Structure formats: structure tokens, C-alpha cells
Structure 1
């Protein structure tokens, strides 16, 4: 995908070149890293003769939306196990409505049950209910997903000093780490609180050319405030690049804040990976409206 340069006085004044790899443009509905993560999983499902795919996600899951559409494109039946039984009655949830309209069967479970999603007994219960299926973990991260994410960086990206990416389950950053050149370093910006990520990343990453910046999650997964909303809207106005509030908005806020604090030794060349997720903006705006906060534009 193409790299778009970000031109802001802050960057020029600090001798920093910042580019965004527009992975959000890779597909209209299977966006960014979800395209990469699903690519080889869908090949494997087909090779192994499965006609159904089952996966997991929450209210505004990019992975759920992408898997539903990929199922339509590739001829798979899709099943989404959704965290939160109360969502069954929320017909205005745009992500789940999109998934359902593209053929995904939704199975709502309470949060206590959902926490058992990695247990063998829980999966066996799902097989009894839905028959045989190809299983993709929550967020899509497994070895095949990492393999797909190893294809994000291209030869043209070899001259960047830093590669920055938002982090959810750790699959995308692992793929990036595995495809780095020797002089490069990956900075991950977690969207979730907690210290589980380093061990998850080390399951797949083949080098230590990476670090996590834990200061920009804004309180945790899908948490957002007025400052972040205003930043995302201003960034889009200044650069024409839309950001999502769960992942890329927080990453970009963090990158520019680090530039301001002199974190990067200048001159430096930074590549930020746009992992997509823009489908979640409509649903987030519904929440913001209820909270009397500004909307994402």
C-alpha cells in the first residue's frame, strides 16, 4: 500500500519525517490488518475443507465485521460469538447489524461465559451447537495471521528508522517485527491496559527490535475523551487522513506527543501503520452523542 506523508509544523521543526502506510485503503470492508490476518486463515480453512468459520468479538469489533464480509466473498458461513448478552436487544449497533446483513450468525454470550472462550470445553460446546468449523481467535491473531502481517512492510520501507503501530492482541506488531531490517525498530501503542502483551508478542516475534509505549490508551480499550476526539478531527482536517478512536487515533496522538517531548533523535524517519478500523466510527458516534460529547467527523 502507498505511504502518505504527514506535513505538520511540529514535524518540520523537529526534523522528523512521518509517513502513514494507508492499509485502511486495502479493501473497502476487510480493512487494514484484518485483511492481512484473515488472508492465510481463509486459505487454510479452504484447504482443510471447512465451509464454516467461527470467531469472537465485542460490540464494535473490526474483526467481526471483516470476517463477515470475507465469508461472503470467499463462500464461507460465518459465526460470531459476541461478548455481552445485552447486545442481542440493541438493534442500533451498526457493526453487528453489518455482520448480520452479510450472513454472519451471531451468538451472544454473557461476559463470564465469554472469558472461557479459550477453554477446550467451551469450544466443544460451540461445535455441538454449530457443527464443525474453522476457528479463528478473537482479534484474528494466530501464526497464520502473523504471517499475513509480515507482508505489510515492503522494500520501499527499508529506509525508515521507526515503524509505529497500534496494538490489540499482538499479531500485527509481531508480523512487523519479523519483517524489519536490521537497523529498524518497532514501537507499539497498546489500546488496552494490562501487562499481558509482551509475552503474547514473544510467542510470535523473532527479534527484540521493539518496544511498547503504554501511555496513550486513554483509560483502556475503546475509552475516549474530548481531547482525543478533538485531536482526531483536527488531524483529519490537517492531513486528510481519517483515524479511528480505538486504535490509530491513540497511536497517532502518541507519536506526535513523543515528537513534542524529543523522544525521537532527529533527523528521523517514521512509518505509522494505519490498521483500518474506520467502520467503528459510526458506532462510537452513537455513544458520544448519548454522552453529549463532540462527534468524530
Structure 2
């Protein structure tokens, strides 16, 4: 594929994404205004804010003459779905390395079935191998498998990291901060791999803050965000922090309390709430508001990073 053949404008992404105010008494009684940054409306085929991280990587793949994309994700990965859709729309072959070899041979959930419908070849690996996916020997083996399955040379395969988060993605996400301008004092976003937060914080105007709500347990994400900012910008950028309380048990997990919160938010505002990322952001911001974390007169924006997956993909903590 040549750069001339890659017409990203033909996809007609909706940018800047809409910014909408909502009346929520849990905020207003504290004198705080709530905005929703609707990144879920950027493109109907590319889930949520994934466009911002994929776009610079797709350009890099085309600039390098690559014809195929290899990337990684879990069984409910929005990133896998977005990459598969981008491949179908733009003419890239796609290869998705999926965490969990126990899934091989089972009926696909609706999220992975969508990937296959968009032409992605799925490759299931055990969790130990998945953790080692960036090691040179493991990555070489995966590249060979992708090249064989897709019928392309190994050098024709462009690797996009898990969640799409690399230095290109972080730079792409600075536009999210710039689009918000001075509209909000604090911006909240869910974090899986940290790329969106790294870029968002870098793109915000001075004096504005970003809070990330990790959707995984472990307390490792701050280091990942710092590393992404170092790679993308040469050092720290922006004012950001993490609140680790709202992961709901970890990736692809929710709790009855989180489900109840999301259902209540849907009822209040008529917005379908994706459970694995967006619900955790909204719950985190609402809790912080009720704790008095935002001074009266503040404006808080929640980044709606995506809509519900085809089968919602949610699993309660009690069902593990």
C-alpha cells in the first residue's frame, strides 16, 4: 500500500467530537458542571476514541509500504474491533493476537465475531506467551505466523501494540486535549494501556488537569503513561493523576454496584453506557464530585471513549 492509496479523509471521521452538557444533580448540588466529550461518535465502524490512536499508525504503515497489520487484545477488545474495521475500510489485511488459548475452538463472542466479519485472522495464545509478546523471539514468531496466514512477507506486516498505545498514538491523542480548549477544568478518561491519557494531558491547556481511571488492577499504569510521554514528547507533559479505585475487579469485570450505577446513568441521561471503560469513568467522576474533590464553579468533562460492545462484553465480579 502506498501513502497515496490511504485516503483517511474518505472515512469522514466526526472531528472534533461533540461536547455536550448534561444536568446531573450529583454534580450540580456541588456547584459543578458536567460535560460529555462524545468520542464514541467519531466513526460508526471504529469504536470510540480508537480513531485517534489508529490514525497516525495507519499513516505510518502506509508510509512504510506495509500491507498488513498485526495487533493484540483480549476477548472483548475494542482495539481489535477498530483495527479490523480499519483494515476492511482501508485495504489492510489484519491479524489479531488474542489473549487466552482456552478461547480457541469455542464459539466467538460478538466482539470477536465482528473482527472476523471484518476480515481479521485471529490467533489465540496462552496468557504466559501473551505477557511476553514484545520479547523479540516471541514477536518474531508472531510475525511469521501473521505473514503465513495473511500471505504477505514478514516485512510487509506493521505491528500496532496492545490498545494501540505507542508514541504515535499519544501524539494523536493530543488533539483530544486541544479540542477541549478551556471548556473544562478537569477531564476524566478510562485507561487501559495509558495512551489516551498520555496524549490528552499533553494536549490540554495550562492550568487544566486530567484524571485517568485504570480499568485494570495492579498499580502499574503511571509508569506506562510516563514512558509513553517520554517516547512521544521527550518528557512529562501536562497535569494528570490516576484514581485506582474504580476498576470494578479488573479488565472486562464489573460489579453489581457498577452495573446499577451505569443503569441509573442511562435512565437519567438517555445515554447507553459501555460498562468496561465508560461506566468506570463516570462512576469515578461522580464519586469524586460527591467527595467534594472539585471546587464549586468547576467544569468537569467525561470522555465517552466508546459505546456498548455488540454483546456488551460485561462480566460481573461475582461471576468470576
TM-score by length of 2: 0.86
Q: Does 1:228 align with 2:258?
A: yes
Q: Does 1:170 align with 2:194?
A: yes
Aligned residues of 1:61 and 1:280 also touching (Cα < 8 A): no
**Residues of 2 paired with 1:218 and 1:129: CA distance?**
35
1:1-297 counterparts in 2 under 5 A? Answer: 1-131=17-147, 132=154, 133-155=157-179, 157-205=181-229, 206-279=236-309, 281-284=311-314, 287=315
**Cα shift at 1:172:** 0.1
- Where in structure 1 are there 5+ consecutive unaligned residues? 292-297
Please list the CA deviations of residues 90-121 of structure 1 after superposition, one character each: whole Å capped at 9, or x if unmatched.
21411111101110001111111111101000
- Where in structure 2 are there 5+ consecutive unaligned residues? 1-16, 148-153, 230-235
Taking only aligned residues, the RMSD between alpha carbons, in angstroms, comes to: 1.6
Please list the CA deviations of residues 49-85 of structure 1 after superposition, one character each: whole Å capped at 9, or x if unmatched.
0001000111100001110000001100000011111
Q: 1:275 to 1:155 in 2, by over 3 A?
A: closer
**Residues of 1 paired with 2:180 and 2:247: CA distance?**
30
The count of residues paired between Structure 1 and Structure 2 equals 288
Q: 1:112 to 1:68 in 2, by over 3 A?
A: same
Q: 1:170 to 1:123 in 2, by over 3 A?
A: same
Could you list the runs of 4 or more consecutive aligned residues of structure 1 that deviate by over 2 angstroms after TM superposition?
A: 127-131, 153-157, 204-208, 280-284
- Specify the SS of the correspondent of 1:82: strand
Aligned residues of 1:60 and 1:280 also touching (Cα < 8 A): no
**Residues of 2 paired with 1:86 and 1:252: CA distance?**
32
Aligned residues of 1:165 and 1:273 also touching (Cα < 8 A): yes
Aligned residues of 1:244 and 1:281 also touching (Cα < 8 A): no
**Residues of 2 paired with 1:219 and 1:236: CA distance?**
22
Q: 1:250 to 1:155 in 2, by over 3 A?
A: closer
**Residues of 2 paired with 1:138 and 1:120: CA distance?**
16
Please list the CA deviations of residues 142-165 of structure 1 after superposition, one character each: whole Å capped at 9, or x if unmatched.
011112111113455313111111
Q: 1:156 to 1:223 in 2, by over 3 A?
A: closer
TM-score by length of 1: 0.93
Q: 1:186 to 1:280 in 2, by over 3 A?
A: farther
- Specify the SS of the correspondent of 1:151: helix
**Cα shift at 1:45:** 0.4
